Amino acid sequence: MVAIVDYGVGNLFSLKSALDRIGMQAIVTGNAEKIKAADRMILPGVGAFGDAAQKLRAHGLDKVICDEAKKGKPLLGICLGMQMLFEKSYEYGEHEGLGLLAGSVVPMKDKLPQDLKIPHIGWNSLCFTGNAPSLLFQYIKNGDFVYFVHSFYADGCSDSLIATAEYGIPLTAAVQKGNVFGTQFHPEKSGETGLKILRAFCDA
Amino acid sequence: MITKRIIPCLDVKDGRVVKGVNFKGISDVSSPVELADYYSKNGADELVFYDITASFEGRKLFTDILKEVAKTIFIPLTVGGGINTLADFDRVLKCGADKVSVNSGAIKNPQLIYDAAKKYGDQCVVLSADIKRVNGAFHVFLNGGRIDTGMDAIEWIKKGVDSGAGEIVVNSIDTDGVKKGFDLPMLRAVCDAVSVPVIASGGAGGIDDFVTLFQTLPQVDAGLAASIFHFGEVTIPALKAVLKQNGIPVRIEREF
């Protein structure tokens, strides 16, 4: 059973549908006991970092997720959910993240060549880093396309970086450290490739 | 590398996909779920659904179909048509839409763009504008191109982006249904004015029109079309193969 953490941010219909499609039992829940009882956790999220982190804390779920992850339960953060795995975000101010991964979330503005648009919206190809691909990529190939929508990106995370996407600069596309996984892109919106990544997370 | 997006647009009325030529003479084409699945399997990068139903029952039917589509395919879905309030955003986002396209609803209430962007994020709000030349100036039109608002289109789009619109769909009424190519001068004017992604709509008659679009205006992020895809005049794998041959970056998931 996969717990899709519901803390009142974003649209979870597609993610639940994608897990249904690959035959994974999943529940959308904000209940701490149900998250503890699940085998795996997915932390989704869209919108602003500060607001989302505050909602997660208001529901008391930040501690539950961190405790479960530290016990070894596989966790996948998606988009803003991935950004929240890090220590800090500088999205409109300075906000504390979950601190499960080293690094911080910074704006693309002023970092990209002038002619590139922000947000980074669309299908971009994955560039695996490191010697061997992460377990998350066991069913896909280097260079496969995934769907991104974001204006901020994770920086200073070389020890967990498993893939980048080229957009003037190499943007952090996916991270992993042990049982903690994160994708900046939306696997639930990335066609067959995305479903294979979700499958891999469920098998990891 | 980021790729140019190819986006089929499905106009839905009473649960069926229809397509107007110059917004008139609508004819029934196919089932939205089947067509969406077909496009997804054939390399569409995104789908746009326009709800052109007027009745309450029709709206309910549309969201039921949207849910079915979102359960079947896993690429970005944009929904437009009948979006006048935040409650309308909520209604379609809960059924699996990723982005919501506003047109006349934003003209009647410009605050809608700001409120929606604040609540759901800029990336969620697409401003779609029906634009036609009037005495050499670009004007925004209402009701599928029948009513001239008198508003300057470029100023309107700039204002929309300032309010939080994260993407712009430029639909040229002058070239829509004519099938002689996208409206390059109009698109250039919009691209020069804003820095958010711009989607070209109206006028695609064949593969060459997409090549010309992306070669002439590399600032354009996506090309949207309906009838040429629905009637099979252009298939997306063939289109993407030609774009790739011409050095235009596209997503090709598998070899056809």
Please report, for chain A, the start and end positions of each structural domain, with discontinuous segments joined by +: 2-203
CATH topology of domain A2-203: Rossmann fold (3.40.50)
Omega cis (within 30) before B197: no
Distance between CA B221 and CA A116 in Å, rounded? 11
Single pTM value for the model:
0.93
Distance between CA B59 and CA B138 in Å, rounded? 32
How does pLDDT run across B146-205, given as a tens digit for each residue? 899 999 999 999 999 999 999 999 999 999 988 999 999 999 999 999 999 999 999 999
Domain coordinates of chain B in residue numbers?
A: 5-245
Percent of chain B as helix, strand, coil, to the nearest 5: 40, 30, 35
The pLDDT confidence band at residue B21, using thresholds 50, 70 and 90, is: very low
State both tokens at A40: 């795996």
Residue A155 has a CB neighbour count (10 Å cut-off) of 17
Q: What is the pLDDT of residue B254?
A: 63
Task: Give yes or no for residue B23 having a pLDDT over 60.
Answer: no
Residues of B in contact with A147 (CB under 8 A): 75-76
Taking residues B22-47, report their average pLDDT. 74
The pLDDT confidence band at residue B24, using thresholds 50, 70 and 90, is: very low
Burial of B140 (0-12, 13-18, 19+ CB in 10 A): buried
Percent of chain A as helix, strand, coil, to the nearest 5: 30, 30, 40
How does pLDDT run across A26-44, given as a tens digit for each residue? 999 999 999 999 999 999 9
CB A51 within 8 A of CB B121: no
Rounded to the nearest angstrom, the minimum Cα separation between A71 and chain B is: 32
CB B17 within 8 A of CB B214: no
**Inter-chain residue contact A189 with B3, CB threshold 8 Å:** no
**Inter-chain residue contact A121 with B195, CB threshold 8 Å:** no
**Inter-chain residue contact B98 with A17, CB threshold 8 Å:** no
| B101: helix, strand or coil | strand
Task: Give yes or no for residue B19 having a pLDDT over 80.
Answer: no
Domain B5-245: homologous superfamily in CATH: Aldolase class I (3.20.20.70)
Q: Which residue has the higher pLDDT, A114 or B26?
A: A114
CB A61 within 8 A of CB A7: yes
CB B63 within 8 A of CB A134: no
How does pLDDT run across A130-182, given as a tens digit for each residue? 888 999 999 999 999 999 999 999 999 999 999 999 999 999 999 999 999 99
